[in-house]
Amino acid sequence: MKILFVILAISSICITGCQDKPKIGALVAIQTTSLPAGHPPIADGQQMPKGDPHAGMKAVEVPASVPTQKATVVQTIDAGIYTYIEAKGEDGKTVWMALPKTSVTKDTKIEYPANVPPIKNFTSKTLKRSFESIYFVHGIKIVK
């Protein structure tokens, strides 16, 4: 008797789970109705906006609560809306970082975020140059 009950229970679960699923279009319609007020509708084939998604970004000073590493600026290269900084760390190693355009000069002492992983083998199309390792940061702190 128990075996019959288990078989019936499994059968009813299988039958319930195998019913028709809603079509993708129906899911889009459901999602569209729950968008926040003023949100543009989601259309089939909608594409990402063209242009640089970082346009208009400004470098920010690293907040005091963020762990940093200290370095001295060796050189800077402005390229479009970015500034590339080559700096020598306290350990003597050279690091490259890229951030939204900022004004910093050679021999300036800076701090940059320590918790940012480097990007390996990055090629800048603007500079037509490759970097073995580079950090992409939102900003730096100038040490006075």
How confident is the model at residue 30, as a pLDDT?
45
Determine the structural domain holding residue 103 and report its residue range: 68-142
How confident is the model at residue 48, as a pLDDT?
54
Confidence of residue 130 (pLDDT cuts 50, 70, 90): very high
Q: What is the DSSP string of the chain?
A: -HHHHHHHHHHHHHHHHTSPPPPHHHHHHHHHHTSPTTPPPP-TT--PPSS-TTTT----PPPTTS-EEEEEEEEEEEETTEEEEEEEETTS-EEEEEEES----TT-EEEEESSPPPEEEEEETTTTEEEEEEEE-S--EE--
How confident is the model at residue 40, as a pLDDT?
72
> Does 93 map to a domain?
yes
> Does 98 map to a domain?
yes
How confident is the model at residue 25, as a pLDDT?
52
> Does 132 map to a domain?
yes
How confident is the model at residue 85, as a pLDDT?
97
pLDDT tens, residue by residue, 15-67: 665 555 555 554 444 444 556 677 677 666 666 566 666 666 777 788 888 89
pLDDT tens, residue by residue, 80-93: 889 999 999 999 99
Q: How many domains does the chain have?
A: 1
> Does 118 map to a domain?
yes
> Does 28 map to a domain?
no
CATH number at residue 90: 2.40.50
> Does 8 map to a domain?
no
Is the pLDDT at 110 greater than 90, yes or no? Answer: yes
> Does 82 map to a domain?
yes
> Does 41 map to a domain?
no
